[in-house]
Structure formats: structure tokens, C-alpha cells
């Protein structure tokens, strides 16, 4: 284990190597493990990420800043950063954790990364820790859309329909399957004005609604791309602003498709892995698709989905 290589990747040379050693030590390895450093590093990380967001997004309010921060410091985000610096090869694990593949476990990698932040804070102070965190999060912040990050499919669908002055979707339980302790809910999502009817399934009613909402939004965005009116309309001063993505109406279909692809990627990242949506039956026509182009989107605050 070449700890010098890890220090180079972190951009910090430890004055006290014992802190680095402890930060990399899981409780399964020895009594002097990294859990206290993890506790400290979690607080340092939250403070630094809050500061970075405050500086980067001057026009975002407190609620949205909190939502974005929560998504940037959650386990999955930390795990992805740990993977990027190949942290797993530096872990100090007990024999049992090694055999069970603990070096690949997201929770262990995320906790170790936080412990490293705590160790850097003790080793060189807050500014040093901030610089390390800033560098590691730079690629993430460069691609963050603060208007959509952390929003679920139901919220995104609601905001899209409100921006088009279309009534909110209707969700209905179509069927339930399985034993009482392991039920699967089949949920119908209807957007009558766009003639959209899709179905989603999940281990709870809420999960099924999220899966159906994801399909409904994908269908609506696909209608926007396919609509002849979208291809023929001329550029106007007004703009389409869906979830923070600005596109001049009447731009080439390929450009609109690229934007809708970005929205679809976000939804795929947010959808629960265990709750995969069923194949959906949807009905659309040109008139319904053209309806999507009738209203411009206005940058306004929308109520959150229940």
C-alpha cells in the first residue's frame, strides 16, 4: 500500500502520518479505527460544501442550497469520489471484511473518505481541508444543475406541466401483487390534456408513482422532440426553461433532443434501482404534442410535490 500515492491524489502531504493511517483503518482491523475521524470529517465536509455552493450559486435560495448540499454529501456522491481516487486499494480492513469484499462496499469507502477529511483538518487546519475537498468536488460542481439535482420524478413532472399551464397528473392504483409483506404496486399516471397514460411499479405506492411519473415525463419530452410544430416554428425571444435548461423555441430538433436527454439522465440517476418501471402504454398525437409548445416556461417557484 503506497500511501504516498494517495497523498498525491488528495493533494495533501500529512505532517502526522499516524492520522492518515488511522483514517484508513476500519473498525474490523484494529481498536484504533477511523470512526471518530469520520464524525469530524462529516462536519467539515458539510461546512465546506455549503461554502462552495454559496460562492458558486449566488441566485439560489436557502431551500435549494440545502437540497443540493444534501445530494453532494450523501453516500453515493462520496463513494463516486472515492472510486475516482481508487481509495479501495489503501483501506486497512480486518480479515473478515477483506473476504466479504468490504473494500468495494460504498458505505466503507464513503466513511473512509470522510475520515480522511477529518484527518486533514487535524493535520493542517480548516483551510487545508477545504482545499482538498474543493479540488475533489470541482468536477462535480462543474456539472451540477442546482434547479434539478435531488428533485424526484414527481416534482420534475409537476414543474414541467405547470410551466406549460397543464393540469397536474392523476395517479391511480391499478393493482397490487404479491404477499402482504412483499407487495408490488402498479400505478397509473394520466395527463389527459396530452393524452398520456403510463404505468409504473414499485414496492410501495410512492415508489410506483415515482416510476410512473418518470415515464410520463420522458413521454412528454419525447413528444416535444417529435412535434412538427417544434421543427417548423421560428426562433423567438421567449425561451423554454425546463428545470434550469434554457433552449430557444424553434431550435433544431437535435438540440432539443440533447436537452431532453439530459433531463432523462437525471431521472435515471434519481430513480430507485429496485423499483424498475414496467413497459408503458402511451397514446399521443400531433395536437397534444403541439400543446407543449403553446406556453413559454416562466422561471418561478413551484410548490413541492406531496
Q: Is 125 left (phi over 0), alpha (psi -120 to 50) or beta?
A: left
The answer to whether position 148 is within a domain reads no
pLDDT of residue 293: 56
**Rounded to 5°, angle at Cα 119 from 118 and 120:** 90
**Coil, strand or helix: which one is 12?**
coil
Q: Is 251 a catalytic residue?
A: no
Do both 104 and 10 map to the same domain? Answer: yes
Do both 119 and 189 map to the same domain? Answer: no
**Coil, strand or helix: which one is 143?**
helix
pLDDT of residue 228: 59
- What percent of the chain is modeled with pLDDT above 70? 73
The residue range of the domain holding 133 is 3-143
Q: Which residues pair with residue 170 across a beta bridge?
A: 190
Q: How far apart are CA 264 and CA 12, in angstroms?
A: 38
The answer to whether position 163 is within a domain reads yes
pLDDT band with cut points at 50, 70 and 90 for residue 278: very low
pLDDT at 113 over 80: yes
- The catalytic residue among 97, 111, 114, 270 is 114
Do both 167 and 95 map to the same domain? Answer: no
Do both 85 and 161 map to the same domain? Answer: no
pLDDT of residue 301: 42
C-alpha cell at 84: 475516482
C-alpha distance across the termini of the chain, in Å: 49
What is the DSSP track for 222-259?
HHHHH-HHHHHPPP-SSEEEETTEEEETT--HHHHHHH
Residue with cell 471484511: 97
**Coil, strand or helix: which one is 14?**
coil
**Coil, strand or helix: which one is 189?**
strand
Do both 183 and 69 map to the same domain? Answer: no
Q: How far apart are CA 64 and CA 159, in angstroms?
A: 15
Looking at residue 174, which CATH number applies to its domain? 3.30.160.20
Do both 230 and 279 map to the same domain? Answer: yes
Q: How far apart are CA 256 and CA 144, in angstroms?
A: 19
The answer to whether position 300 is within a domain reads no
Do both 136 and 201 map to the same domain? Answer: no
pLDDT of residue 300: 42
Using CA atoms, how far residue 159 sits from 48, 107, 147, 246, in Å, is 30, 33, 11, 15
User: What residues have CB less than 8 Å from 194, skipping those under 6 apart?
Assistant: 166, 220, 223, 284, 288, 289, 291, 292
Mean pLDDT score across all residues of the chain: 79
The answer to whether position 57 is within a domain reads yes
Do both 129 and 22 map to the same domain? Answer: yes
Mean pLDDT of 149-167: 84
The answer to whether position 306 is within a domain reads no
Q: What is the pLDDT of residues 180-217, one digit of tens each?
A: 778 899 999 999 999 999 999 988 888 899 899 999 99
Q: How far apart are CA 289 and CA 267, in angstroms?
A: 21
Answer with the one of 108, 124, 143 that is the final residue of a domain.
143
Is residue 212 classed exposed, middle or buried when 0-12, 13-18 and 19+ CB atoms within 10 A define those classes?
A: buried
Using CA atoms, how far residue 116 sits from 8, 57, 133, 228, in Å, is 13, 27, 10, 55
Do both 137 and 157 map to the same domain? Answer: no
Residue with cell 413497459: 279
Residue with cell 438540440: 255
Answer with the one of 109, 143, 177 that is the final residue of a domain.
143
Mean pLDDT of 44-50: 96
- What percent of the chain is modeled with pLDDT above 90? 45
Do both 115 and 182 map to the same domain? Answer: no
Residue with cell 436557502: 62
Classify residue 302 by its DSSP letter: -
pLDDT of residue 173: 93
pLDDT of residue 234: 45
Answer with the one of 86, 109, 143 that is the final residue of a domain.
143
pLDDT at 88 over 80: yes
DSSP run (H or E) holding 287: helix 286-291
- The catalytic residue among 42, 188, 218, 270 is 42
Q: How far apart are CA 30 and CA 43, in angstroms?
A: 24
Q: Is 186 a catalytic residue?
A: no
Domain count, the chain: 2
Do both 229 and 175 map to the same domain? Answer: yes
Do both 120 and 217 map to the same domain? Answer: no
The answer to whether position 99 is within a domain reads yes
Looking at residue 24, which CATH number applies to its domain? 1.10.1520.10
Amino acid at each position: 500500500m503506497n500511501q504516498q500515492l494517495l497523498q498525491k491524489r488528495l493533494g495533501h502531504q500529512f505532517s502526522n502520518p499516524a492520522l492518515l493511517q488511522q483514517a484508513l483503518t476500519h473498525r474490523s482491523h484494529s481498536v484504533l479505527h477511523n470512526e471518530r475521524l469520520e464524525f469530524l470529517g462529516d462536519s467539515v465536509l458539510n461546512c465546506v460544501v455549503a461554502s462552495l455552493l454559496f460562492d458558486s450559486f449566488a441566485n439560489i435560495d436557502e431551500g435549494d442550497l440545502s437540497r443540493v448540499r444534501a445530494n453532494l454529501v450523501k453516500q453515493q456522491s462520496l463513494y463516486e469520489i472515492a472510486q475516482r481516487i481508487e481509495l479501495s486499494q489503501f483501506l486497512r480492513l480486518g480479515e473478515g471484511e477483506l473476504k466479504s469484499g468490504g473494500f468495494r462496499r460504498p458505505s466503507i469507502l464513503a466513511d473512509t473518505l470522510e475520515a480522511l477529511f477529518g484527518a486533514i483538518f487535524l493535520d493542517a487546519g480548516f483551510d487545508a481541508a477545504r482545499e482538498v475537498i474543493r479540488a475533489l468536488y470541482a468536477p462535480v460542481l462543474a456539472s451540477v444543475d442546482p434547479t434539478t439535482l435531488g428533485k424526484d420524478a414527481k416534482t420534475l413532472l409537476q414543474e414541467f406541466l405547470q410551466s406549460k399551464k397543464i393540469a397536474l397528473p392523476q395517479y391511480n392504483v391499478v393493482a397490487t401483487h404479491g404477499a402482504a409483506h412483499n407487495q408490488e404496486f402498479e400505478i397509473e399516471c394520466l395527463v389527459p390534456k396530452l393524452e398520456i397514460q403510463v404505468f409504473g411499479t414499485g414496492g410501495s405506492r410512492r415508489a410506483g408513482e415515482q416510476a410512473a411519473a418518470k415515464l410520463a415525463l420522458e413521454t412528454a419530452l419525447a413528444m416535444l422532440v417529435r412535434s412538427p410544430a417544434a421543427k417548423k416554428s421560428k426562433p423567438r425571444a421567449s425561451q423554454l426553461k425546463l428545470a434550469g435548461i434554457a433552449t430557444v423555441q424553434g431550435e433544431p430538433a437535435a438540440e432539443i433532443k440533447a436537452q431532453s436527454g439530459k433531463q432523462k439522465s437525471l431521472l435515471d440517476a434519481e430513480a430507485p434501482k429496485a423499483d424498475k418501471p414496467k413497459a408503458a402504454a402511451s397514446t399521443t398525437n400531433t395536437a397534444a404534442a403541439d400543446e407543449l409548445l403553446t406556453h413559454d416556461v416562466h422561471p418561478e417557484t413551484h410548490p413541492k410535490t406531496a
